[in-house]
Structure 1
Amino acid sequence: MKILFLEWKSYCVPDMIEALETAGHYVTLITCKEMTDRYNTEFEKIFNSYIEQVSYDAVFTFNYFPIVSKMCNKLNLLYISWVYDNPLVTLFSCTVINKCNRIFLFDRNSYEYFHNAGIETVFYLPLCANPQRLCSYTTDPSPINDISFVGSLYTEPKQRLYDRIDGIDEY
């Protein structure tokens, strides 16, 4: 499968490329911050120029971008997105029902929310890691714990929006 991988400030990109290529897929990586906008004619030009060069079977992104879905839907091209942020505001777009989409959500509750609303383009897929790379950093192969959480609890000061709002009434 030929996959156009669009990324912008994504984690895990090298691991995902390695996994896809190990599975036998051909991957082209493009860094494209323009895809973060809902409407962007520059993105459409960039996207079309890559699609015209190679006959891709699918487009992949970490997280979901409505503008990518619109372009893929227009070209009848498979759009695969693996969402690792929660909540992800861009999921609340009318584009999530586009038939081209395969949206994988790591959060079971988010998946159930969309699935129970009748949206057939969402699927549940937990997050994963590259054990070959990560385990190479340890000298003891036996794990200390059965489960570990690695990530953000969104408790950092930069995430607390309401703590930064001053000068408004309680209402």
Structure 2
Amino acid sequence: MKFLFYRYGSICEEDLIETFKEYGYEIVEYTKEIYNKNYSLKLAVKEVGNVMMKEQFDFVFSINFYPFLSELCKVFKIRYISWIVDSPVMELYSSSITNSWNRTFIFDRALYNEIKPLNPDCVFYLPLGARLKNKDAIIENASREDKDKFTHDISFVGSLYTEKNPYTQKKEMSGFLDGYLEAIIRSQEWVYGYYFVEKLLEEKYVDEIKENIDDFLELPGNNFLTDKRTLSQFYLGSEITARERVDTVEKISNRFSFDIYTGSDTTKLPKVKNHGYAKTLTEMPLIFNNTKINLNMTSKMIRTGLPLRIFDIMSCKGFVLSNYQEEIFEEFENGEEIVTYSSPEEMVYLIEYYLQNDKRRKEIAENGYMKVKNEYTYEKRIEKMLIKSFEK
């Protein structure tokens, strides 16, 4: 079989390509958005449409959902398979989600429960996974120098969200509204496993808040997206995530040696050792494998599901300390395959405990690795996706 892979540069794309190739698939990669983040929709429709006219594909695949790909597949009458690995993906609320040629797989159950009713036969729940083969080889062949370079007590790989927080576009509002939003943000910041922002946000204030945000996000054409949902997920969710991550990093770095790999500005976190970006394919496996405690701070916009970071760490035999998420105990056993915290105080206690208990920490890391290897590989995920996508 032959398919078109529309790429934008997600960290999981390379591993998925390798896995698809092992299944014998012929892949045509379309990569212009990777190198041009201002790539216009009009040009994308024209150029991708031309590729689809010249070559015969069995399906089109992408990480996350692109309405224009859905519409092109509707015209060409071929499956459009998308795997949602981020949240929020506001394009899921476009009218294109209702197309019968879609096969949309969503990793977060809360998001899945919202989107599923829009196209009941074509939207599926599918948690994430990882590829082990390449990582096993990198870890096994690493030099002593490389292992030492990436050996840390505690580390975090990822954005602090401060550089991509759309809430910073908000203007100063009335004292009441600013205080009202601040109260919602503070209420949610340290609550794990339940995202209640949309319930707290009252409809009567939405229009005024919207008017005070420059270039407020709106989808073109017909869609199912409400301004209240956009505010609660895209704007407030980003702000709460940024605050929680900065505050968490500060709490840890004030007590422990803490290394972080990020492009975010950490000048206001002087005790953190920021190494800049980590190379996804060659450095991240060594960081995860050689760090005693790998921290996962799930974006607040991922309301119930597990982010890629958890699976990536486990696939490198790394120990994961994660905030609690509603779905986490459905996939992993707490204290045996992963360790979770439900408050900053519990997080600090667990860091102290596992830094002092090497044997137990390594056992949990090995158990997590075996769970991913046996149940959550990309091979298994792709097989499930394709069976669902083409079953009658």
TM range (shorter): 0.7 to 0.9
In structure 1, the partner of 2:203 is none
Which residue identity does 2:161 align to in structure 1? E
- Provide the C-alpha distance between the structure 2 equivalents of 1:97 and 1:24, rounded to a whole number of angstroms: 31
In structure 1, the partner of 2:88 is 87
In structure 2, the partner of 1:145 is none
- Provide the C-alpha distance between the structure 2 equivalents of 1:42 and 1:163, rounded to a whole number of angstroms: 30
TM-score, structure 2 normalization: 0.37
Contact 1:97 1:120 in 2 (8 A): no
Report the structure, 1 or 2, having the larger helix content: 2
In structure 2, the partner of 1:168 is 173
List aligned pairs for 1:8-157, cutoff 5 A. Answer: 8-33=8-33, 40-116=41-117, 119-139=120-140, 156-157=161-162
46-55 or 94-103, larger mean C-alpha shift: 46-55
In structure 2, the partner of 1:142 is none
Q: 1:114, CA displacement in angstroms? A: 2.1
Cα distance change on mapping 1:8 and 1:56 into 2, 3 Å? same
- Provide the C-alpha distance between the structure 2 equivalents of 1:69 and 1:117, rounded to a whole number of angstroms: 14
- Provide the C-alpha distance between the structure 2 equivalents of 1:104 and 1:151, rounded to a whole number of angstroms: 25
Q: Which has the larger radius of gyration?
A: 2
- Structure 2 regions of 5+ residues with no counterpart? 141-155, 178-208, 210-392
Q: 1:74, CA displacement in angstroms? A: 1.2
TM-score, structure 1 normalization: 0.80
In structure 1, the partner of 2:285 is none
Cα distance change on mapping 1:164 and 1:41 into 2, 3 Å? closer
- Provide the C-alpha distance between the structure 2 equivalents of 1:50 and 1:151, rounded to a whole number of angstroms: 36
Cα distance change on mapping 1:106 and 1:81 into 2, 3 Å? same
Contact 1:79 1:101 in 2 (8 A): yes
- Provide the C-alpha distance between the structure 1 equivalents of 2:157 and 2:130, rounded to a whole number of angstroms: 12
Report the structure, 1 or 2, having the larger strand content: 1
Cα distance change on mapping 1:163 and 1:47 into 2, 3 Å? closer
- Structure 1 regions of 5+ residues with no counterpart? 140-149
2:105 counterpart SS class: strand
Cα distance change on mapping 1:165 and 1:40 into 2, 3 Å? closer
- Provide the C-alpha distance between the structure 2 equivalents of 1:123 and 1:43, rounded to a whole number of angstroms: 27
Which residue identity does 1:81 align to in structure 2? S
Q: 1:27, CA displacement in angstroms? A: 0.4
In structure 1, the partner of 2:4 is 4
- Provide the C-alpha distance between the structure 1 equivalents of 2:15 and 2:124, rounded to a whole number of angstroms: 21
Which residue identity does 1:87 align to in structure 2? P
Contact 2:4 2:57 in 1 (8 A): yes
1:120 counterpart SS class: coil
Select the structure with the greater relative contact order (CA < 8 A; seq sep ≥ 6): 2
Contact 1:69 1:95 in 2 (8 A): yes
- Provide the C-alpha distance between the structure 1 equivalents of 2:99 and 2:127, rounded to a whole number of angstroms: 22
Q: Give the CA RMSD over aligned residues.
A: 2.6
Contact 2:15 2:131 in 1 (8 A): yes
Q: 1:109, CA displacement in angstroms? A: 1.9
Q: 1:164, CA displacement in angstroms? A: 5.3
2:163 corresponds to which of 155, 158, 170: 158
- Provide the C-alpha distance between the structure 2 equivalents of 1:168 and 1:13, rounded to a whole number of angstroms: 41
Q: 1:87, CA displacement in angstroms? A: 1.5
Q: 1:133, CA displacement in angstroms? A: 1.5
Q: Deviations over 1:77-118 (max 9, x none)?
A: 110111111121000011111011001111122112222555
Structure 1 consecutive aligned stretches of length 4 or more whose deviation exceeds 4 Å: none
**Residue-pair matches, total:** 158
In structure 2, the partner of 1:144 is none
